[in-house]
Structure 1
Amino acid sequence: MEKKLYTKKSKEQLKKELTQIQFEVTQENATERSFDNEFWNNKEEGIYVDIGSGEPLFTSLDKFDSGCGWPSFTKPVNNDNVKENKDITLGMMRTEVRSFYGDSHLGHVFDDGPRDDGGLRYCINSASLKFIPVNKLKEVGYENYLKLFKKE
């Protein structure tokens, strides 16, 4: 995939551009409500990008219904666009997932995903994502991802 330059916007700029829940999730590590978020049940084909920076994070091809009420994915579309950090908040040991360039809090990764697809479950807040349907990829500059959706 072609590399674009993605950058982190200032908190002031993000506060103007994002909704309150989007800002709280991405910049203050909040968690949105399960089963009450935009993409938990989205079945449309496309890619999910960081709401702040636009960097591609996940595809619908790797999305599955984990029953947790948040969008769940087996893997990122590009490992270079996500980073993982140890998270010991709330008295638990978890692995936080953040976007690499935008440094947005996305959610957490767990090892209870589908075994046939690597066993990981990236449990991601919808508020950290922008969804781009396949038919809009070229129009908004993500045409390199179209090949992922070509039927053999």
Structure 2
Amino acid sequence: MSELTKTKLADLEEDFRSYKKIPSKIAEALVAKEWKPEDSNAWIKGSQTHTEKALTDLIKREDNKSYLYYSKLYMDISNAYESLSSELKGIVDKYLWGELDYLEWREIAEYEHCSKTAVYKKRFKILESLAIQQGKVF
């Protein structure tokens, strides 16, 4: 069984905090993969519509490593979030993804009226859920 070191926890937290930005990263990965130099002037020609088949083919590109990475990360975070208790989901919603996402954990402890130790235990549970989802711990 792998141990969650401070470095691994920091990486997991960064991933968890990036959740709301991942859909745009996925879109960027798809667009970047399909972009050609002649596309730079496509706006002059007018809008071109994509057929459903073309869009499906674009999404299914197995050689697009960025797309695959961000898609898997998004699903892992989604599944980890769903496995959390309602209390922990509330912390994620408010402090990792919400209006107070700039706060550090010691400040979160003050907002939640709990000890620093208690808030760090909650942090560990949140991040452990992602580590389990990613197969980093069992």
**Same fold per superposition (TM over 0.5):** no
Q: Which has the larger radius of gyration?
A: 2
Q: Which has the higher strand share?
A: 1
- TM-score for the superposition, normalised by structure 2: 0.21
